[in-house]
Structure 1
Amino acid sequence: MISWKKHYKKGLLAFALLLSTGASVYAQGDAKKGEELFKANCAACHALDKQMVGPALGGVVERLKTEQNLDIDWLHQWIKDNEALRSSGDAYANEVFEKFNKAPMNTFPNLSDQDIDDILEYTTNPPVAETAAAAATGADAGQTTVADLEKARAERINSTIILISLLVIGGLLIWLLLKLRQLVKLQQTEELSGLNETRVASFSELYQKYNYIGKIALGILGLLAFYGVWNWLMWIGVYKGYQPEQPIHFSHKIHAGDNKIDCQMCHSSAKYGKVSEIPSMNVCMNCHRNISEYNGSYFEPGRDKAFYDAEIQKIYKATGWDPASQQYTGKTEPVEWVRIHNMPDFVYFNHAQHVVAGEQAIISSHNKKNPNNKIDVVCKACHGAVDTMNVVTMANDFTMGWCIECHRTTEVDMNNTYNKEYFQNLHEKLKQQYPSKEGKITVDAIGGLECGKCHY
């Protein structure tokens, strides 16, 4: 009997150790470190709660154990080198590869076994946000509500008192005015009454009496009206400060400012074409195929994460992208962007000529004229600090005078490869032709003021 009890106790102890060993499979990593590693290595293609480029990874350890009878060692092999695992003929590895459109997962030989354990712990037991602070906030909110009611009641009483006081003061002032009027009438003499009869009683009488002054005044008013009309005509088509809302909110501050995305990644034709085109939605999808929600730290006033996530969904709707299946449905919708910068039809402007041939010259000229507002990208000379704009605004007036002034003050960059070849035989001639510029050739010297350069 004693022997049975002894073996029974040993059996229970062994069973307990077995359970603890099995549980440790899911608790042998650090979830907080795993969260950092997950965001750095996995978040581009995976989320815990939804499918992206790859499957949702929430509870992946338990799911593989239950559905495929695969342990944590299989996950270690898959994460470190999934290509080698597939090449070995592993059935499930090849099944996953086929299921997700044969998109190979990156290999992570740099991750240690402990790093992978930390990531898997995060997918199994992600840190839960503390709720105590929220509860305390709710309790405080209840007390504040009572205080707010008392405050509002006191403000209403004060407003009533102030209103009654103002009405009383207004009544006193009216009474005083009436009394003063009576006193003035009592003090009028016969001499004053006769003088009142000689006063001008109408505008026509006043004009007949002082008609020469009236003519001068009308002449001045006519000149002012002519100047006003002329000034209005001169500013037709000038829309400096124009800031329209777009059908899909796109913050240049977040993309070009915080994330340092180069202007020409989206506006690729600005460097090699006449027009800087509006990027197609496929350009947006180069990044947003894998970025389905906003996880940045910057928020515009009045905006929250839900707002940005909804705007990303508009991109998916326009391109016909189904994030669940990670495939295009073929059902697309046009996006009616509102154009901001638009030269008149009678004006020729070539982006490539300015961005390629004039890049360094324009940047240098702008920084000399604006030492406290220097630029690092040629685009900013005309379009302003776009990387700080949430909604793009027309930064300059783009008048003919504005362009001519730039051509008169911007020095030609003779060291630019394009200019060096093109003006190889003209440099000395230009220096002799414009000796007053001390060898510095500005754009006006190479035809920058010729009418036919911009109007044809």
Structure 2
Amino acid sequence: MYRRVSILMRKHFVSVLVLCVALIASLSVRAADPAKGKALFQQNCASCHNVHKKVTGPALKGVEERWSDKKLLHQWIHNSGSVIAAGDPYAVALFNEYGKQAMPGFPSFSDADIDDILAYIDAESKVDVTAKTDGPTATKGGEDSGNNSLLFGIITLILAIVALILMQINSNLNKLAADKDGLAVSEPVPFYKNKAYIALTILILFVVGGYFTINGAIGLGRQKDYMPEQPIFYSHKVHAGINQISCLYCHAGAEKSKHAMIPSENICMNCHKTITDYNGPELFTAEGKKVNGSAEIQKLFDAVGFDKETKTYTKPGKPIEWTKIHNLPDHVYFNHSQHVVAGKQQCQTCHGAITEMDEVHQFAELSMGWCVNCHRTTKVQFADNKYYSIFEQFHQQVKEGKIDSVTVEMVGGTECQKCHY
């Protein structure tokens, strides 16, 4: 009897254990990550879609509610043709609405990737895009409202002059007091003849002059906040910010070569064959001058010889003479692909809030010290990064808990030959 009860209890225990494991497994389902979804959206979807408005494809706000089954939405993203062929009413209507142009499939996306993208779309849908400023927010390079060093310098100079005047007055008052008491006191030496004052003035001028000379020498060739006027007013805020076009769509070389590359006019015309007029928010230069967006698009058409009425190229084109903003000395080696692919760096690391700039300016000073400090503090994405697979010692130290992360400096990022050759 006891043995039978014991066996029965073990069976119940095993059943409960299996149920608990199943429950834990169901609770540990991966939560969607909007941050990863944003990166995937910008790289793969932003060239055709916007969350809030219709562009090449439909606006994606509320996309999950428009589909009867989430699995069907996943299938549509993997292969839209299969859903259309199956005769789903919404898929067929969408196909017909957009001129029977099927959406490109993304078979490489996992279900988790799609859930991440949908989570980003849901989060972005809650953002209010109607708020708009009445005027320009950008400023020309060189203005720094937070830098009061010039004001402090002027105040210091004024106080120094006041101190010299007060010292001279004190000397004259001492002379008057001594004369009244009948004491013999030598005539005070004028401050411009006083050797101590002259020596102090020379020393101060030497220090101040040396400071500005050294700072000027260090800054030679640097052009932080440089914002040249371009032949066509191109707003990164409109393209990369509002319309969320991936940086790599235009600057394809950033993940493949040393140079990010200025996009050719053909890249521009991929969109502007159909977008012939500007209907976005008002544009302003850094000086506050209003910009006619449609007129700027016409400058592009004039350069490539495109007639927007007939949608044909009517004359030979000519290259647009863009002004390069970010320049490094010839003896410095910088590879975009190494930073973007191996280093997993975002464009904003070096270029600042590029998605908020109407007129692009150089955000960082791009000096040697700036780069070295970045390499000393930046932690590389060491795990699951094949580029760093040869550093077995660091991998082992991370596993053993001896170090919690690996910086660029630890993998040779501050060695001279890395950047100078």
What is the TM-score normalised by the length of structure 1?
A: 0.49
Shift of 1:312: 0.7
**Which amino acid in 2 is paired with 1:394?**
Q
Shift of 1:42: 11
Q: 2:212 aligns with which of 228, 233, 253?
A: 228
Shift of 1:357: 0.7
Q: 2:300 aligns with which of 315, 321, 340?
A: 315
Q: 1:352 aligns with which of 306, 315, 337?
A: 337
Give the secondary-structure state (helix, strand or coil) at the position aligned to 2:340. helix
Match of residue 266 from structure 1: 250
Match of residue 406 from structure 2: 441
Contact 1:255 1:261 in 2 (8 A): yes
Q: Do the aligned partners of residues 331 and 226 (structure 1) sit closer, same or farther apart at CA in structure 2, a change above 3 Å counting?
A: same
**In structure 1, distance between residues paired with 2:55 and 2:394:** 55
Shift of 1:266: 0.4
Match of residue 154 from structure 1: none
Shift of 1:414: 1.5
Unpaired runs of at least 5, structure 2: 1-52, 59-91, 103-178, 181-185
Contact 1:413 1:419 in 2 (8 A): no
Q: 1:390 aligns with which of 336, 358, 364?
A: 358
Q: Do the aligned partners of residues 200 and 322 (structure 1) sit closer, same or farther apart at CA in structure 2, a change above 3 Å counting?
A: same
Contact 2:283 2:292 in 1 (8 A): no
1:118-197 paired onto structure 2 within 5 Å: none
Contact 1:242 1:393 in 2 (8 A): yes
1:3-402 paired onto structure 2 within 5 Å: 106-107=99-100, 206-207=192-193, 210-300=194-284, 307-359=292-344, 362=345, 378-402=346-370
Deviations 1:102-155 (A, max 9, x none): xxx92499xxxxxxxxxxxxxxxxxxxxxxxxxxxxxxxxxxxxxxxxxxxxxx
**Which amino acid in 2 is paired with 1:325?**
T
**In structure 2, distance between residues paired with 1:41 and 1:386:** 22
Shift of 1:325: 2.7
Indicate whether 1:454 and 2:419 are aligned: yes
Contact 1:250 1:390 in 2 (8 A): yes
Q: Do the aligned partners of residues 430 and 319 (structure 1) sit closer, same or farther apart at CA in structure 2, a change above 3 Å counting?
A: farther
Indicate whether 1:417 and 2:385 are aligned: yes
Contact 2:277 2:294 in 1 (8 A): yes
Calculate the aligned-residue CA RMSD, in Å: 3.7
**Which amino acid in 1 is paired with 2:201?**
A
Shift of 1:431: 6.3
**In structure 1, distance between residues paired with 2:56 and 2:199:** 83
Match of residue 45 from structure 2: none
Q: Do the aligned partners of residues 234 and 303 (structure 1) sit closer, same or farther apart at CA in structure 2, a change above 3 Å counting?
A: closer
Shift of 1:425: 3.4
Q: Do the aligned partners of residues 265 and 298 (structure 1) sit closer, same or farther apart at CA in structure 2, a change above 3 Å counting?
A: same
Contact 1:253 1:386 in 2 (8 A): yes
Q: Do the aligned partners of residues 398 and 420 (structure 1) sit closer, same or farther apart at CA in structure 2, a change above 3 Å counting?
A: closer
Give the secondary-structure state (helix, strand or coil) at the position aligned to 1:415. coil
**Which amino acid in 1 is paired with 2:321?**
E
**Which amino acid in 1 is paired with 2:223?**
Y
**Which amino acid in 2 is paired with 1:449?**
T
Work out the percentage of aligned pairs sharing the same amino acid. 39
- Structure 1 stretches of 4+ with a deviation exceeding 6 A read 39-44, 198-203, 429-432
Q: Do the aligned partners of residues 430 and 340 (structure 1) sit closer, same or farther apart at CA in structure 2, a change above 3 Å counting?
A: farther
Give the secondary-structure state (helix, strand or coil) at the position aligned to 1:217. helix
Match of residue 179 from structure 1: none
Give the secondary-structure state (helix, strand or coil) at the position aligned to 1:440. coil
Unpaired runs of at least 5, structure 1: 1-38, 45-79, 85-104, 110-190, 193-197, 363-377
Shift of 1:412: 2.1
**In structure 2, distance between residues paired with 1:431 and 1:415:** 9
Deviations 1:277-327 (A, max 9, x none): 1111111000001111012244447666x8111111110111111223322
Q: Which has the higher helix share?
A: 1
**In structure 2, distance between residues paired with 1:217 and 1:249:** 50
Indicate whether 1:404 and 2:372 are aligned: yes
Shift of 1:424: 5.3
Q: Do the aligned partners of residues 428 and 333 (structure 1) sit closer, same or farther apart at CA in structure 2, a change above 3 Å counting?
A: closer
Contact 1:430 1:441 in 2 (8 A): no
Give the secondary-structure state (helix, strand or coil) at the position aligned to 2:316. coil
Equivalent residue pairs, number: 253
Q: Do the aligned partners of residues 407 and 211 (structure 1) sit closer, same or farther apart at CA in structure 2, a change above 3 Å counting?
A: same
Q: Do the aligned partners of residues 242 and 437 (structure 1) sit closer, same or farther apart at CA in structure 2, a change above 3 Å counting?
A: farther
Give the secondary-structure state (helix, strand or coil) at the position aligned to 1:276. coil
Contact 1:357 1:416 in 2 (8 A): no
Q: Do the aligned partners of residues 357 and 416 (structure 1) sit closer, same or farther apart at CA in structure 2, a change above 3 Å counting?
A: farther
**In structure 1, distance between residues paired with 2:101 and 2:314:** 32
What is the TM-score normalised by the length of structure 2?
A: 0.53
Match of residue 51 from structure 1: none
